[in-house]
């Protein structure tokens, strides 16, 4: 199995999908000549030309809507928004238009587009450039939202997203681009996809269920491994992979088995993904719970610039270990 | 297909027919026109008039819900535009769109059924008055978020160019809509990428109650493309033939030369912004003058004068239209409601795991029936 970075997985998948289907094209700010703010589209302009790798003006609402419109008559645009913070300028086109067109017009037009964008903080970009808005999109029926945490899933989910006939928000993360992982050999299963709407049990365990996605799923795996090695704990990790549709059955089944759950997300706590998952567990697995569900999330503050403050505001290994201990042994006062 | 237009910026005329005199002038020389086509334009204007009047009635009878905006007074603007389009063209509109989809040839019954929220409606009862759609006739939707249709329409023009397909996109909107960000972003891209699109601005004098000049620092709306070096024209929106001629010309420019344009059609809204708006903010004298110059009556008179219509033809036409609209209402009335079991149908085009499905809809139907 070759080992590649998350960035390479995305780049190669875009290239393969563009070769596979002439309707697949890319648009976004600085994705061509500049090769993307995070270099995900490196080399694609040279390979496919300016028609299929379109450098757009700085006009998020305009070009996201243009992609949605083009998709209505069969193009399959993959749009890059530099970071999810800037996607707020395009939210009307995603939420009021892309998400509604198929339903509101009685199934007469599809919107097969992908909006790729990284979220996340931790690199001192301060309050406006370090946010997590995936929950805003995951809130909306009509959109699909995926958030892979490994190169393997990034490739499989990007393929699924591009081939899907609905608008898909594809969440990346600034801190994941350089992470490495296995992907299947081209010869073996070079065309694998990962189903949208399905979580994965990234690691089986029996003492507690730890639920996460995107970069926090990487952290969750690290901590689960560490606590097994150091304390003999058996932690089951669920990587959600899709935020809408949400794979409730996988979560419920796991919690019925372990009786305890911790959920971690990088975004803010109030009204967050963790809140939804905690509610799901109490509705469907209440009688199986041995402890209250614990939520770990970002501190509710505009993310500050200074390293010491930023570190204190983002969820990390310490927050997670504390929550796991509380779920296992109760809150110590 | 779409050649790069070799137009020097300096020769890009901004003002082709912005002369206020021309703005009130009507075309009365029909010698180059096919009489049958002129009669069918008149017929469609009359159908729109009658359809909208009856729609207003149906609203007061609570057959129609939500917001409902009429094209009364704007019939020439609507039909003039539509009569210039080819089957391969696409059209996006705002929520004031009943007349446009009628003139695109969609059966009045299916339109009225949509207003009634019926399963037989053009959007299968999921959209209502503001969200009419017909994919076969390339009628790409009424949109009720002001300006929402502009980037989408630009996108269809982009896809046409990408595939080197013939045809143009019409992006219809109101005067007030030229102040929204999406307008500026889309015009810039349309010109940058040389897209086959016409931004068709219906200047009916008002947003809801806000006068054009109180909302736009440049009240001559056809000039608003100048920052993008985009061609703009103003036309008398009460004259269907003037509108049609302008659209035909700009259509070819957009399609063959990749020169997008703004066409501002000056019109007048006979009634309030929506059917429930008494429009007290307009002064009586203005309304009287606006209504006096009735585009349907005036076009009829011009065609009578030219011998293209006769009183006899007009009478027969009016009776047929009366019946056609009555039949549309009957069709809507007798059509079935959508099934609650189809609540989630059409939400996603590609089925995936864990999305709501038929069982969730059955559950919703049971609860709606009080079975729990
Ligand atoms: C983004 C947005 N803002 C406000 C509204 C409320 N609204 C609906 S119609 C309208 C006026 C639009 O005027 P104009 O573009 O001139 O179109 P007209 O109704 O005259 O055809 C407003 C403010 C809306 N639907 N969408
Ligand atoms: Mg108006």
Give the model confidence (pLDDT) of B226-246 as tens digits: 999 999 999 999 999 999 999
The CATH number of the domain holding residue A268 is 3.40.50.920
* Residue pLDDT, tens place only, A195-233: 999 999 999 999 999 999 999 999 999 999 999 999 999
In a domain, A41, yes or no: yes
Contact criterion met (CB < 8 Å) for A165 and B185: no
Under a CB-based contact definition with an 8 Å cutoff, are residues B50 and B322 in contact? yes
A145: DSSP letter: E
Half-sphere exposure of B284 (CA within 13 A, CB side): 0
pLDDT band (50, 70, 90) for residue A186? confident
In a domain, A195, yes or no: no
* Residue pLDDT, tens place only, A113-168: 999 999 998 999 999 999 999 999 999 999 999 999 999 999 999 999 999 999 99
pLDDT band (50, 70, 90) for residue A332? low
- The residue of chain A nearest to residue B143, with distances taken between CA atoms, is A97
- B340-352: average pLDDT: 97
Strands A242-244 and A144-146: antiparallel
Same domain, A150 and A226: no
- Domain finish residue from A189, A209, A239: A189
Q: What is residue A189's predicted lDDT score, i.e. its pLDDT?
A: 81
Contact criterion met (CB < 8 Å) for B158 and A108: no
**What three-state secondary structure class fits A320?**
helix
Domain limits at A216?
Answer: 200-329
Closest CA to A266 of A147, A155, A166: A147
In a domain, A264, yes or no: yes
* Residue pLDDT, tens place only, A84-122: 999 999 999 999 999 999 999 999 999 999 999 999 989
ipTM: 0.96
B327: exposed, middle or buried (Cβ count in 10 Å: 0-12, 13-18, 19+): middle
> If you compute the radius of gyration of chain A from its CA atoms, what whole number of angstroms results?
20
Same domain, A151 and A267: no
Tell whether B345 lies on the interface with A, counting CB pairs under 8 A: yes
pLDDT exceeds 60 at position B10: no
Tell whether B141 lies on the interface with A, counting CB pairs under 8 A: yes
Integer Cα distance of B205 and B211 in angstroms: 6
Same domain, A29 and A169: yes
Same domain, A213 and A234: yes
pLDDT band (50, 70, 90) for residue B24? low
The partner residue sitting opposite B155, judged by closest CB among A67, A246, A248, is A67
- Total domains present in chain A: 2
The pLDDT > 90 percentage for chain B reads: 93
The CATH number of the domain holding residue A94 is 3.40.50.970
Closest CA to A23 of A60, A89, A77, A61: A77
Q: 């393997």: which residue's tokens? A: A152
Parse chain B into domains and list their residue ranges: 36-334, 339-372
Output the pTM of the full model: 0.96
The three-point CA angle A142-A145-A149 to 5° equals 170
Q: Which atom of ligand 1 is nearest to the CA of B212?
A: 16
Q: How far from each other are the two terminal CA atoms of chain B, in whole angstroms?
A: 62
Integer Cα distance of A189 and A210 in angstroms: 30
Integer Cα distance of A143 and A133 in angstroms: 14
The partner residue sitting opposite A245, judged by closest CB among B152, B181, B353, is B353
Number of neighbouring beta carbons within 10 Å of residue A135:
19
Q: Give bridge partners of residue B263 from the DSSP assignment.
A: B200, B233
Positions of E strands within B63-131? 90-94
Question: CA-based diameter of chain B, in Å?
Answer: 72
Closest CA to B78 of B64, B90, B93: B93
The pLDDT > 90 percentage for chain A reads: 96
Under a CB-based contact definition with an 8 Å cutoff, are residues B52 and B101 in contact? no
Fold of B36-334: Rossmann fold (3.40.50)
Tell whether B51 lies on the interface with A, counting CB pairs under 8 A: no
Instruction: Order the strands of the B139-143 sheet from edge to edge.
Output: B139-143, B90-94, B169-174, B197-203, B261-266, B231-236
Same domain, A238 and A122: no
The three-point CA angle B290-B296-B300 to 5° equals 130
pLDDT exceeds 90 at position B4: no
- Domain finish residue from A160, A189, A218: A189
How many angstroms separate the alpha carbon of residue B269 from the centre of ligand 2?
8
- B62-91: average pLDDT: 98
A214's tokens: 């995107």
Under a CB-based contact definition with an 8 Å cutoff, are residues A294 and A320 in contact? no
Report which protein residue has its CA nearest ligand 1's atom 12: B207
Same domain, A18 and A157: yes
pLDDT exceeds 50 at position B1: no
The partner residue sitting opposite A103, judged by closest CB among B145, B186, B346, is B346
In a domain, A194, yes or no: no
Report which protein residue has its CA nearest ligand 1's atom 13: B207
Check if B208 has its Cβ closer than 6 Å to any atom of ligand 1. yes
Q: What is residue A257's predicted lDDT score, i.e. its pLDDT?
A: 98
Same domain, A98 and A10: yes
Same domain, A153 and A217: no
- A46-69: average pLDDT: 98
Same domain, A23 and A88: yes
């Amino acid at each position: 199995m070759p080992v590649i970075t998350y960035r390479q997985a995305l780049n190669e998948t875009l290239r393969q999908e563009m070769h596979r289907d002439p309707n697949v094209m890319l648009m976004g700010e600085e994705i061509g000549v500049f090769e993307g703010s995070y270099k995900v589209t490196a080399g694609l302009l040279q390979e496919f030309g300016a028609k299929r790798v379109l450098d757009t003006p700085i006009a998020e609402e305009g070009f996201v809507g243009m992609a949605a419109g083009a998709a209505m008559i069969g193009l399959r645009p993959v749009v890059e928004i530099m970071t999810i913070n800037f996607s707020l300028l395009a939210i009307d086109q995603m939420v009021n238009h892309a998400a509604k067109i198929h339903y509101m017009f009685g199934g007469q037009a599809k919107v097969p587009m992908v909006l790729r964008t990284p979220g996340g903080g931790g690199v001192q970009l301060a309050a406006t450039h370090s946010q997590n808005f995936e929950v805003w999109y995951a809130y909306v029926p009509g959109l699909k939202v995926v958030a892979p945490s490994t190169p393997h899933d990034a490739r499989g989910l990007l393929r699924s997203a591009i081939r899907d006939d609905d608008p898909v928000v594809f969440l990346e993360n600034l801190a994941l681009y350089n992470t490495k992982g296995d992907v299947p050999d081209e010869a073996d299963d070079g065309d694998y996809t990962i189903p949208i709407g399905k979580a994965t049990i990234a690691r089986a365990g029996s003492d507690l269920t730890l639920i996460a996605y995107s970069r926090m799923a990487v952290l969750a795996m690290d901590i689960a491994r560490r606590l097994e090695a150091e304390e003999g704990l058996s932690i089951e990790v669920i990587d959600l992979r899709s935020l809408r549709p949400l794979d409730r059955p996988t979560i419920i089944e796991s919690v019925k088995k372990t009786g305890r759950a911790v959920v971690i997300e990088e975004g803010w706590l109030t009204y967050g993904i963790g809140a939804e998952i905690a509610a799901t567990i109490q509705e469907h697995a209440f009688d199986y719970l041995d402890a209250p569900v614990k939520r770990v999330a970002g501190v509710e503050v505009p993310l500050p610039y200074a390293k010491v403050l930023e570190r204190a505001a983002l969820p990390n290994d310490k927050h997670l270990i504390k929550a796991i201990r509380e779920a296992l042994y109760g809150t110590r006062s | 297909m779409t050649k790069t237009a070799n137009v020097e910026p300096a020769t890009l005329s901004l003002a082709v027919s912005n002369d206020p005199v021309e703005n009130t002038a009507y075309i009365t020389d029909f010698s180059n026109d096919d009489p049958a086509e002129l009669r069918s334009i008149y017929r469609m204007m009359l159908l729109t008039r009658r359809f909208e009047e009856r729609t207003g009635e149906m609203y007061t009878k609570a057959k129609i819900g939500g917001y409902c905006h009429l094209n009364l007074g704007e019939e020439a603007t609507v039909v003039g535009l539509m009569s210039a389009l080819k089957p391969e063209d696409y059209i996006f509109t705002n929520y004031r769109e009943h007349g446009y989809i009628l003139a695109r040839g969609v059966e009045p019954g299916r339109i009225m059924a949509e207003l009634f929220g019926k399963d037989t409606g053009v959007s299968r009862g999921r959209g209502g008055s503001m969200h009419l759609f017909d994919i076969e006739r390339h009628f790409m939707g009424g949109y009720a978020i002001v300006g929402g249709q502009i980037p989408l329409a630009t996108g269809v023009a982009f896809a046409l160019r990408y595939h080197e397909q013939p045809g143009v996109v019409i992006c219809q909107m109101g005067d007030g809509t030229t102040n929204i960000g999406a307008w500026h972003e889309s015009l810039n891209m349309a010109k940058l990428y040389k897209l086959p699109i016409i931004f068709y601005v219906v200047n009916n004098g008002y947003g809801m109650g806000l006068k054009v000049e109180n909302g736009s620092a440049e009240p001559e709306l056809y000039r608003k493309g100048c920052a993008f070096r985009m061609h703009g024209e103003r036309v008398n929106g009460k004259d269907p033939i003037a509108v049609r001629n302008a659209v035909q010309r700009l259509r070819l420019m957009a399609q063959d030369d990749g020169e997008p344009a703004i066409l501002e059609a000056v019109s007048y809204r006979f009634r309030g912004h929506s059917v429930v708006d008494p429009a007290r903010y307009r002064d009586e004298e203005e309304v009287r003058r606006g209504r006096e110059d009735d585009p349907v009556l005036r076009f009829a008179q011009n065609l009578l004068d030219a011998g293209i219509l006769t009183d006899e033809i007009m009478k027969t036409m009016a009776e047929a239209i009366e019946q056609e609209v009555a039949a549309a209402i009957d069709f809507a009335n007798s059509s079935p409601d959508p099934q609650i079991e189809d609540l989630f149908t059409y939400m996603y085009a590609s089925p995936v795991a864990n999305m709501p499905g038929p069982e969730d809809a059955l559950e919703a139907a049971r609860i709606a029936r009080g079975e729990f």
